Amino acid sequence: MDTSTLGKGDIVEAIAHLSESLRIFRMKQGLDSLDASYQLFLYHLGRIYGKKAEYEKSLSCFNESLRIRRVSLPSNHGVVVDTERFVEAIKRKVDSLNN
């Protein structure tokens, strides 16, 4: 999902769809699922929340996605490294807003 081209209405709709997908997935699979699609929902939701400057929600999604990715993939895998970069970028934004 390329979030760079999402308009405001698209972002609201994407959050609604991803949130509903997560809710259904959690009902069926449980909160401790390590399923690849679950972490992907979280990853994309984190990117969208970051685009909306909802950094705490973004960090929460990225951290959960990263937790799952670290369990199932080597630490030097591209998606793990990519997610770590997003987490650090969001943390820097939060720090700059707090200073």
Query: Do residues 61 and 42 lie in contact, with contact meaning Cβ atoms separated by under 8 Å?
Result: yes
How far from the centroid of its chain's Cα atoms is residue 48's Cα?
Answer: 8
Using one digit for the tens of pLDDT, what is the confidence trace for 17-64?
Answer: 878 877 887 777 766 666 677 788 889 889 889 988 999 999 999 998
* Number of domains making up the chain: 1
- High-pLDDT (> 70) share of the chain, %: 83
CATH of residue 10:
1.25.40.10
Q: Structural domain of residue 59, as residue ranges?
A: 3-98
Predicted confidence at residue 7, as pLDDT, reads: 59
Q: Report the run of H or E that residue 67 belongs to, with start and end.
A: helix 55-72
Predicted confidence at residue 92, as pLDDT, reads: 92
Long-range contact set of residues 31-36: C-beta below 8 Å, sequence gap at least 24: 33/68, 34/68, 34/71, 34/72, 35/68, 36/72
